[in-house]
Amino acid sequence: MKVAVFSTQSYDKQYFNLVNEDFDHEFIFLEPALNADTAILASGCRGVCVFVNDKVDAKTLEILHQNGTDTIVLRCAGFNQVDLDSAKGLGINVYRVPSYSPEAVAEHAVAMMMTLNRKTHKAYNRVREGNFSLERLIGFNLNGKTVGILGLGQIGLAFAKIMQGFGCKVIAYDPVVANAPANVTLVNLDTLMTTADMISIHCPLNDHTHHLINQNRFEQMKRGVMLINTSRGAILDTHAAIEALKQGKLGYLGIDVYEQEDKLFFRDLSESLIEDEQILRLMSFSNVLITAHQGFFTTEALTEIAQTTLQNLDAAESGQSTGNKLT
């Protein structure tokens, strides 16, 4: 299948071409993100491959459909960027990668947690400058603390397993999960908010979870709570988070995702003027750690993403049934 790959980075080319040695697809790698203005670039391509910040709305889908596209494959698990109803109405098949090494994202969440707690990023910079002082680097033991998990899917479960190894009490909220593994206690959302010393977000973005963490939720939390988000940016109300940081209610914030990341992430802006005032404000806090959506970024995950995406293309060509199909 001839496939236009939008939002292409060097590693996309590397892993897709490597895995494609066992398949027979033709890729056109495109750096721009997909939207209504760039959809014409996929003209003549039966397939289109998109990532987290591509905008596959009704207008974009109509343009793709008019120019011969009948298959969209997502190289990610989340699909909030796709208008599935419009795709279905146009007869466009949509596939995703539902799981691509949940441990990769879970481990990154833990890395952010440990960095914020023990301030290893600050210690690294100090020592390189010849400053061996321990002042203002004090952390806390994870052992014995209560960690709350929002979303008990595969990534949430992998995160829970790691935190149990630290000796944490693990509680979780997930409205669609009836049973949890041993040592994970399912609670309601209010209980999680008021009980947890640390909260890690691992739920999908949808109408129910948009700004799930907002001013009211921050008011419920313990003072000095740590919040980690490696899921989707819009689950967290950024303005409310900034206010909670200013008030000292939020003691630590680690985000690998951001509401307006499509204008920032996956590009080098080191010599550009960043006009996003909210991200600049977040970057000004010493107790905030921001990474640019790299939770998935491991060899194992990239290989699995490419492998599953190409299998989805094969399934679309042959009309085979697969659990990865959304429409």
**Structure confidence by residue, pLDDT tens digits, 81-123:** 999 999 999 999 999 999 889 999 999 999 999 999 999 999 9
Do 54 and 66 reside in the same domain of the chain?
Answer: yes
Do 122 and 236 reside in the same domain of the chain?
Answer: yes
CATH of the domain at 145: 3.40.50.720
Query: Does any domain span residue 190?
Result: yes
- Give me the catalytic one of 108, 202, 217, 261: 261
Do 110 and 96 reside in the same domain of the chain?
Answer: no
Query: Does any domain span residue 326?
Result: no
Query: How far is 265 from 253, CA to CA, in rounded Å?
Result: 18
Domain that holds residue 174: 102-290
211 is catalytic: no
| Inter-residue long-range contacts of 321-326, CB under 8 Å, 24+ positions, other chains counted | 322/95, 323/98, 324/95, 324/96, 324/97, 324/98, 325/93, 325/94, 325/95, 326/79, 326/82, 326/84, 326/87, 326/94, 326/95, 326/96
- Domain count for the chain, please give it: 2
Query: How far is 280 from 203, CA to CA, in rounded Å?
Result: 26
- Give me the catalytic one of 293, 300, 304, 317: 293
- Give me the catalytic one of 202, 232, 259, 304: 232
Sign of CA dihedral 73, 76, 77, 78: negative
293 is catalytic: yes
Q: Which two tokens stand for residue 111?
A: 């890395």
Per-residue pLDDT tens, the chain, 327 aa: give them.
999 999 999 999 999 999 999 999 999 999 999 999 999 999 999 999 999 999 999 999 999 999 999 999 999 999 999 999 999 999 999 999 998 899 999 999 999 999 999 999 999 999 999 999 999 999 999 999 999 999 999 999 999 999 999 999 999 999 999 999 999 999 999 999 999 999 999 999 999 999 999 999 999 999 999 999 999 999 999 999 999 999 999 999 999 999 999 999 999 999 999 999 999 999 999 999 999 999 999 999 999 999 999 999 999 999 988 999 999
232 is catalytic: yes
Do 81 and 204 reside in the same domain of the chain?
Answer: no
